[in-house]
Chain A
Amino acid sequence: MDAVRCSVEYLSEFGDCQSHSVRIVQDGTSLFLTSGDRDVLIFNVQERRVTTVMQFDASVINLALSDDKHRLYALCLNGGLYCTLIPPQISSSSVLVNKSSDGVLYTVPDDSIVLKNASLQAFTVVEKILVTLSIHKSVWSFDLYEEPGSRPLHKLACFQVVTLNTCCLSKTEKDKSVSSPPVLTCIYPEGSTSVSTHKSDLLPYLEPHLFRLLFGVDASLVNSPVILCGLPDGRICCFPLFVPTLAGPRGEQRSPVRVLQSLEQPVVFIGTCISGEHGPQCLVAVGQRGKLLMVKSKQTSLEGKKADYSFNEHTVRGPVLCACVDDKWLYYSSLNDLHALQLTTASSSSEATGTESQLQALTSDSLGVCRVIALAGPYTNSTGSVQLLAVSLSGRLLCVNLPQGSENGNVPRLPSSLAGQRVKDLLASIANIWERAESLKHKLQEKNESLKRLNQVINVCSLLLDNHGNEKACDVGTKLPISCRGVARWSSLLQRDSLTLTCVLENSSGCTLEHGWTLCIQVHPLSKGPNMEDSSRTYSFPFKKLDSGQKLDVTIPLESTGGLSLPVKVYCSLAFSLSALFSPEASSPGVSQLLTEMGSISAPLSTLTVDWLDALRLEGSFSHGNIRHNTVTNGIQAFLHSRGVLTKDSDTTTKSGPITVMVRVSSELLKTKLHLSATRSPETCVSVLNWLVSPEAIGQPSVQSPVICAYSPDGCSVKLLVKEVTLGDFCSDGPLEVLEIRVESTSVAAVCGLHHAILRRLQVLLRDSALKCGHIKQLKAQSLFEAVRHVESLFKDLQDAQNQAALGGTMKMKKNSEILFRIFLQLRANPLVIL
């Protein structure tokens, strides 16, 4: 068996087609194609592209070219027959210049309708005559019009055929038969002028003998082409085109339309082909359910006997969707396969063995192309192989190259080994395509995900921005949707105590903080020590997901390499990196490439301050080992001091005893501000002390006595006292209850830090006290005056000291600092009362 097989070239794809409405008409390199919608595509076979799209008003159901190939006739579903000039093709040279020019859309204007008749079923253009077939009230009527005629078209003639009363057909079958339109074919007598001038292979023709037998003396004498029509009811009608209405045998007028034969099934195709080896042409008709009719002239004995023709009926496996014919082969497509049927062998064998074999089903050769619903051709190309153009059900335009080897009658069937290979190839290509489809799906999903995330981010951002506004407007009282709180704690790790800040990010909003968000905490010391130039640090905590209602605890150390420097400002913010929009495995580097380091969003959450009070370690709340460790360092320091390697600060601290600073606040003010209910002074003192030391836990006080002994972060012991004193001479209304908050420590730094912390807290507390306290105390001028004088004297001392410092060199430095320290202490020791 030969290994020849037909090769299928895939030319283009047009999308899904309806099987009954696809029409292709080829003219040279242009292919006119409609797939049942409003468009007619003009496809250039050589360039393999659609050059023009012609858009009609309604779905196109049939196409034909005029004789001079300059005009296209299209029958649309709205019953309009359009005739339009074919728009000039863009030549390939201009395409090379401008490659981007795709098809040109050409909307067919409404006024190119030449005929409007909703019952039009089919039409054809032959010899400058337009033949239309319409059905109206069960009468088929053929109408002939002058083709490039004036509008409205000049009607030349009209013939009518009554439809068969097909009572046996069920309704559904009727519908089906209506759905398959009638087929109109024009058949020429051999040797007629139009056959010889045209390319003969394009026009179906019959030898004169058979032509005369089939279509009558008149048509053959006039050499008139004959229109054959396959009606959906299976009848094949014919009438000669150029024969005038003739008189019948009784002198009456007679319809020129004759019924040749009935296939009893919708006719799909009518054509002619060669019968026998080099025999004359015979007529071929194919029915939808596989009936194949061949009409041949019988070889007559020489003398006398009336010549006859024979109808040979064969059956091929249906359904036949479309068919075409070349000299010897009939190509037809059932949905499963494209078949090639050699008509010559069929006829010769039937002649050899007589009538019995005529009835048997013809075996046809499979070409292995499935789902073909429309065929054009066949055409012999320059290399000699025969080409068919086919449209598949999925809208692919295929070029089927038939091997030359088919000439010898061999079945172009695949050998099994090749078939296996072919299957493998096909499977591989299917896999490839599947992969591509998957990846595309994946990409799409990714993009959707990104968009979803982006939406979330923007939601969150707007929430945070609202936060910000709220924070300014009303106070801390309202709960924010996303908030961050922080508590400083001592923790011991590896025998070393360190101050840590525990931040709690709480998401009480409706949104979920997705992957990509980062909690950024920036720790920024307020005081700048000499050995910490840029000591602000940023900690960032990316988190996977924070659902609404969830909390995130993070703990950061407050000590840096340079040691602990208080107070510290902590800025909390939420940041989102845009790169997180694109999931890490995303295969689209394109967009994320564009993201530079700027590609992030940062929204401030809250600002905290950690001061000395926060960092105090109350006695009894920690193990002593660590403190001892601290005292050891003190010891070492003391040792170092004694050796003379001293810093000036420590010098002063060691020399002077415990230093005391004091803050006085009007107890009434403080009570109202802290909402204290206690009336007795010791309770008030305890409460105030609690507020100072552990502001979060007002409910369960950690301190019972008005005196707290604690250790400062650097290990010095600190004493905090609160007591209530009465200032009798201060206020004109009478004695004034004042709370005296006193800090005692040997360490200047601790004292200063605590003092600053207490003042800051009071400041925050009393920020808008002036507005809220309507009752203004009448102060005694005397005490006020004294206080002012005291401050003024201190100021004078300070000025003196400054002057001296300016005058004196480094020698007097020490003395100066002593003076300043004294002034400082005096100022702190007897402060003004905060009312």
Chain B
Amino acid sequence: MSFVPCLVDRWSEENNSIILTWKQNERGLEPNQNVLKRCCSESRKLLQKIQGIPAATERLELEMTVSYNTFLFSLSFSNASEIEESLTHSLLRALEAAGSQVSCSDPVQLWEAVLQTLGSSVYVPYVHKLLLIQWMLWLMQCQLERVLTLLMQTDHKNVFHSSAPVNLQTETRNLALSMEEDSSLMVAMTAKDLKDLLHICTVICQGVEQMKMEKYSEALDIFQEAKGLPSPRSLLAQIHTLPGQSFAKLGQPHCALHFYRKAVEVDCACHSALYQSALVFRQLGNPKAEMEALHLLYSAVQLHSDKSSSSASLVSLATLLGGEQMTFISRVPSPSLILHTLAHTCVFNGSISDGVEYYLDLLASLQSDGKDLIHTGEGASFPRIPVVYLEAGFALLKAKRYSDALVVCEEVITSTLDFIPERLLLDADEKQNVADSDVVLENVDFVLWAGAAHLLQAQAHWKLKDTKEAITNFTRSINNLVKVLIKQKDWKQKHLGNTEAMVERMVTLEAAKGQALAGRGFCFLERGELKEALRDLHLSFQMTPGSHIKMLLSEVLWRLDRREEASAHWREAYSTSDAPKSVNVPLYLQLWPDDTAFDFSELKKKMVEYIQAKKT
């Protein structure tokens, strides 16, 4: 058979030309996915040709090299099981060439046979290349146990002589693979590079597994080792982020922040580090830092979505670490949720103007392109859209853009109008199942949203000095809110089916009612309708006791010439310090210092005079 060496030459040449094309593409500025695709199909064809004739030892090196290249190329185009199948086929052919027949298809046994047959021959470098592929495939499927067995098989001595418990870490560390490269047979990725990549990825995978089992200190040990290993840049950031997350879980936020900062230093587009640090800042109560982190994250996410080009690298980390692992590592909420969190944090912490801009951005993105909104929302979920609208309206109101606030609230009113029941009776004694209570809760929500929208509108009108319109809207808000009737006196006790959510709703409802009544009372006061003002303020005080309302009450009573009562209220209000900000209620019902835009100095003077006069 004189043509065989000639064929071997030709095929090696073909292989080398494919690799050269790929290398050239890899070196280029914009690696092209199509080139990869072409290389893949050409390499596959070549492999088919080679495997078309019976296996023989003189072609074994060529065949194994081409297999190795083909598997690397096809990583992006075919799934692991397909590659594994052809890998098994290649191994069987290698054994056939070596003259031993193994019919089993179990990869572990197959590898044992291959390593025994070819383990001490000149083909070791090639066998080890295929072994790396097997390692990679199992790593992709997160089958670390099998990787360990495979690597132990490679090192015969360990299997027989060491009685010490083997673990993957030491095994990978001490792994001695033959890495010689044959210059006449080119490969798409040198075995050493692949081995290093696999090594670091295996370590990270182990660490992530530990984290999933909530063994954070063990995970930290593993990540400690990972730092010493050579790794690509994008992975380096993760190597810092993951221990940061572990530290955060272990209750060491400052250590965590340290690691996150390192991660961002390595890769400024490391989303998860930014997100995690924002969470830590919130935990630490550092709103400024939190806002900054969120802002950075948001801009990074937006930049990323602009690029969003799939890299044409041969072995991407995403494929190596499997889908689940990667999502665990780089878990970041959707851009719209980040934007909402950012806007919410801004408004909540008083940087209104930024918050308003973010809210407007969010509303615009909700209206225009839906694609950002759709996201595999792991963990965090987006607030209901009317809530977002109400928050935006609130922010606009605070930013003194009253007419805009009116428009936004009007949207909520029209959309909820159809859902508002005539009256909603909540009967605690009735046993409700979850589905029913869900419906009830949803209805309460509708009432609440409509009421809050009217309330915000009323406040806007009031700010616009249109007290009449404001009173109308306050009234509407109250009318809405009182549709929810509770057939139980002590509703704060957990009686209703699900309660915690219900209690929360009730608190919110009461707060809204209180605000509405107070607002209307204040308006009446301004208009001089003191009786109505007194009634509303009394009711409001019942709902939400507060020094501010007390002072208003004393003002009204004073004007009504009920001085004794007025002074009593005044003293009460004056003695208790200002009530703390009610954290439990939603953002859009938060009380604001400037709400109390009433000049109490006159009253104060009179009160002081009156009290002193009484004393004397």
A binding-site residues for B, Cβ under 8 Å: 111, 127-129, 144, 146, 150, 155-158, 209, 212-213, 217-218, 220-224, 241-254, 300, 304-307
A217 to B383, CA, bound (A): 13
User: Mind listing 7 A-B residue pairs with CB under 8 Å?
Assistant: A111-B77, A127-B370, A158-B376, A217-B449, A218-B384, A244-B337, A249-B441
Interface centre among B415, B420, B449 (most CB of A within 10 A): B415
Once the chains bind, are B377 and A244 in contact (CB under 8 Å)? yes
What residues of chain B lie closer than 8 Å to A251, measured between beta carbons? Answer: 501
Q: Decide: A247 near B384, CB < 8 A? Known: A111-B37, A221-B415.
A: yes
What residues of chain A lie closer than 8 Å to B501, measured between beta carbons? Answer: 249-251
Once the chains bind, are A242 and B370 in contact (CB under 8 Å)? yes
**Which 9 pairs of residues, A with B, have the shortest CB-CB distance?**
A242-B370, A249-B441, A245-B377, A244-B382, A307-B418, A218-B385, A250-B501, A156-B374, A244-B373
Once the chains bind, are B375 and A247 in contact (CB under 8 Å)? no
Q: Decide: A221 near B411, CB < 8 A? Known: A129-B374, A241-B370, A242-B373.
A: yes
New A-B pairs, 18, CB < 8 Å, besides A242-B374, A246-B381:
A127-B370, A155-B376, A157-B377, A158-B376, A212-B418, A217-B419, A217-B446, A220-B415, A222-B373, A222-B385, A241-B374, A243-B373, A244-B374, A244-B382, A245-B377, A246-B382, A249-B441, A253-B381
Q: Decide: A245 near B382, CB < 8 A? Known: A217-B415, A221-B389, A306-B419.
A: yes
What residues of chain A lie closer than 8 Å to B446, measured between beta carbons? Answer: 217
Which residue in chain B gives the minimum CB-CB distance to A252? B381
A710 to B309, CA, bound (A): 121
What residues of chain B lie closer than 8 Å to A146, measured between beta carbons? Answer: 371
Chain A CB within 8 A of B442 CB: yes
How close is B588's CB to chain A, nearest CB, in angstroms?
15
Beta-carbon contacts under 8 Å, B439-461 to A: 441-442, 445-446, 449
Q: B411-436 vs A: 1/0 string, CB under 8 Å?
A: 11001111111100000000000000
How close is A66's CB to chain B, nearest CB, in angstroms?
15
Once the chains bind, are A244 and B375 in contact (CB under 8 Å)? yes
A252 to B379, CA, bound (A): 9
Chain A CB within 8 A of B310 CB: yes
A801 to B33, CA, bound (A): 116
What residues of chain A lie closer than 8 Å to B386, measured between beta carbons? Answer: 217-218, 221
Once the chains bind, are B37 and A222 in contact (CB under 8 Å)? no
Once the chains bind, are A305 and B422 in contact (CB under 8 Å)? yes
How close is B367's CB to chain A, nearest CB, in angstroms?
6
Once the chains bind, are B498 and A250 in contact (CB under 8 Å)? yes
A241 to B389, CA, bound (A): 19
A127 to B445, CA, bound (A): 31
What residues of chain B lie closer than 8 Å to A218, measured between beta carbons? Answer: 384-386
A242 to B368, CA, bound (A): 10
How close is A395's CB to chain B, nearest CB, in angstroms?
37
Which residue in chain B gives the minimum CB-CB distance to A145? B374
A224 to B158, CA, bound (A): 62
How close is A234's CB to chain B, nearest CB, in angstroms?
20
Once the chains bind, are B422 and A304 in contact (CB under 8 Å)? yes
How close is A257's CB to chain B, nearest CB, in angstroms?
13
Once the chains bind, are B381 and A157 in contact (CB under 8 Å)? no
What residues of chain B lie closer than 8 Å to A217, measured between beta carbons? Answer: 384-386, 415-416, 419, 446, 449
Once the chains bind, are B438 and A157 in contact (CB under 8 Å)? no
A243 to B592, CA, bound (A): 31
A251 to B421, CA, bound (A): 22
Once the chains bind, are A306 and B370 in contact (CB under 8 Å)? no
Chain A CB within 8 A of B334 CB: yes
Chain A CB within 8 A of B166 CB: no
A246 to B384, CA, bound (A): 6
How close is A211's CB to chain B, nearest CB, in angstroms?
10
Which residue in chain B gives the minimum CB-CB distance to A307? B418
Interface centre among A127, A217, A224 (most CB of B within 10 A): A217
A755 to B383, CA, bound (A): 135
What residues of chain A lie closer than 8 Å to B389, measured between beta carbons? Answer: 221
Chain A CB within 8 A of B336 CB: yes
Q: Decide: A223 near B367, CB < 8 A? Known: A213-B418, A217-B386.
A: yes
Q: Decide: A248 near B385, CB < 8 A? Known: A157-B374, A306-B419.
A: no
Once the chains bind, are B422 and A306 in contact (CB under 8 Å)? yes
What residues of chain A lie closer than 8 Å to B418, measured between beta carbons? Answer: 209, 212-213, 300, 306-307
Which residue in chain A gives the minimum CB-CB distance to B439? A249
Once the chains bind, are A250 and B384 in contact (CB under 8 Å)? no
Which residue in chain A gives the minimum CB-CB distance to B483? A304
How close is A193's CB to chain B, nearest CB, in angstroms?
8
Once the chains bind, are A156 and B376 in contact (CB under 8 Å)? yes
What residues of chain A lie closer than 8 Å to B375, measured between beta carbons? Answer: 156-157, 244-245
What residues of chain A lie closer than 8 Å to B336, measured between beta carbons? Answer: 244
Once the chains bind, are B438 and A144 in contact (CB under 8 Å)? no
How close is B359's CB to chain A, nearest CB, in angstroms?
14
A158 to B376, CA, bound (A): 7
How close is B169's CB to chain A, nearest CB, in angstroms?
32
Once the chains bind, are B376 and A157 in contact (CB under 8 Å)? yes
What residues of chain A lie closer than 8 Å to B441, measured between beta carbons? Answer: 249-250
How close is A191's CB to chain B, nearest CB, in angstroms?
12
A144 to B374, CA, bound (A): 8
Chain A CB within 8 A of B102 CB: no
Which residue in chain A gives the minimum CB-CB distance to B383? A247
Which residue in chain A gives the minimum CB-CB distance to B440? A249
Chain A CB within 8 A of B265 CB: no
Chain A CB within 8 A of B104 CB: no
A113 to B17, CA, bound (A): 28
Which residue in chain A gives the minimum CB-CB distance to B441? A249
A224 to B366, CA, bound (A): 9
Chain A CB within 8 A of B565 CB: no
Which residue in chain B gives the minimum CB-CB distance to A224? B370
What residues of chain A lie closer than 8 Å to B442, measured between beta carbons? Answer: 249
What residues of chain A lie closer than 8 Å to B415, measured between beta carbons? Answer: 212, 217, 220-221
What residues of chain A lie closer than 8 Å to B529, measured between beta carbons? Answer: none
Chain A CB within 8 A of B500 CB: yes
What residues of chain A lie closer than 8 Å to B309, measured between beta carbons? Answer: 150
A68 to B385, CA, bound (A): 30
Which residue in chain B gives the minimum CB-CB distance to A146? B371
A260 to B443, CA, bound (A): 18
Which residue in chain B gives the minimum CB-CB distance to A249? B441
Interface centre among B367, B370, B375, B386 (most CB of A within 10 A): B370
Which residue in chain B gives the minimum CB-CB distance to A158? B376
Once the chains bind, are B385 and A243 in contact (CB under 8 Å)? yes
Once the chains bind, are A222 and B445 in contact (CB under 8 Å)? no
A814 to B381, CA, bound (A): 145
A158 to B412, CA, bound (A): 28
What residues of chain A lie closer than 8 Å to B376, measured between beta carbons? Answer: 155-158
